[in-house]
Amino acid sequence: VQRCRIVAAAEVEQSYIMIKPDGVQRGLVGEIISRFEKKGFLLKGLKLFQCSKDLAQEHYKDLKDKPFFPTLIDYITSGPVVCMAWEGVGVVASARKLIGATNPLQAEPGTIRGDLAVQTGRNVVHGSDSPDNGKREIALWFKEGELCEWESVQTPWLIE
């Protein structure tokens, strides 16, 4: 309630964050979720999910002409992923910083990929690259009714 009073709705964005199958297999789910929780963003949706090839191809449609596209689709569909919708002012760009560069060897220490991965083809997590793509991806991965409308008791202690 307080957040709505002090932050214009237009400024609030959502980012689609996904822990990829390697992150799930390597037991990094808690570690990765924890980084977004501790930063102070609001979790609006969360599920463990085995995605189809069609969904993976739709999600990554901008990359369909890349040589690595078939192996990317195999990777993303190789096991369950954790789908998340995170909300907050500036969450899209901030999540990209928390995640780090696409190539984990170039990602800064302190970022998720910089700390937890070594190869682009196994870079443990996805984050939307724009607010529009955040909306598109959340609509793609979550069904009606799967997101929760709620307010965190922490909000007045995060936003003045």
Supply the minimum distance, in Å, between the C-beta of residue 29 and Mg ion: 21
- For residue 16, the 8-state DSSP code is E
Which residues, 6 or more positions from 117, have their beta carbon under 8 angstroms from its beta carbon?
A: 22, 104, 107, 123, 124
- The answer to the question of residue 32 lying near ligand IDP (CB under 6 A) is no
- The answer to the question of residue 31 lying near ligand IDP (CB under 6 A) is no
Using CB under 6 A, pick the residue from 3, 35, 44, 126 that binds ligand IDP. 126
The tokens for 14 are 């959502």
x/- contact string, 68-107, with ligand IDP (CB under 6 A)?
Answer: x---x-----------------------------x-----
CB closer to ligand IDP out of 71 and 154: 71
Q: Give bridge partners of residue 15 from the DSSP assignment.
A: 86
Tell me which residues touch ligand IDP (CB under 6 A).
63, 68, 72, 102, 120-121, 123, 126, 129
| Residues that constitute the known binding site for ATP | 20, 68, 96, 102, 113, 123
